[in-house]
Amino acid sequence: MKVERVSSSWEGAEEAGEEGGMPPSSPARGSRGLHPVPEPEVKAQRRQFSMTYKLKILREADACKGSGEIAALLRREGLYFSHLSKWRKQHRLGTLDRMRGRKPDQEAELKQRLQELERENERLQGKLRQAAKIIEVQKKVSEILGVSLEEIDSGDKTS
């Protein structure tokens, strides 16, 4: 905690030689004239590394051949070996671009998959409606031309 000196009557008394000329910070004088100044609380923040930075460090670490080169790289960058190990594992698994190593939200993945399947289902339903209309038109054309669909089916089987 910082202590800031506040001017008081002690300063004038010190100069005049009162109180035996003891300095204001003397234990005999007490804490008169000194007021603690609270320091702002600094909350530690977790460091965040971008994907490009992680890949750069992984490339540099892979390029290190001599003994102690990786340690020098980590010291220079202010990293721990656990960072390197975690990033290598994430890179190997293909999850390096995900958010800070958090586990993926399975419910969100399921919702996304459900939406994809619903879109595909609607697309296929539309194709089915289109195919049904085409078949209906073909039936009407065959009625107009007087061609029986059974004759066409039996003709295809003999050939």
Lowest mean pLDDT among 9-18, 51-60, 92-101, 106-115: 9-18
Q: Please state, in angstroms and rounded to a whole number, the distance separating the CA atoms of residues 87 and 98.
A: 11
- Evaluate if pTM is beyond 0.75: no
- Boundaries of every domain in the chain: 2-37, 51-93
* 140 has pLDDT over 70: yes
Identify the bridge partners of residue 5 per DSSP, sorted by sequence position: 34
> pLDDT (tens digit, 9 = 90+) per residue, 78-117?
999 999 999 999 888 888 776 555 666 788 889 999 999 9
Contact 73, 50 (CB under 8 A): no
Buried-state track 56-66, b at ≥16 Cβ within 10 A, e below 16: ebbeebeeeee
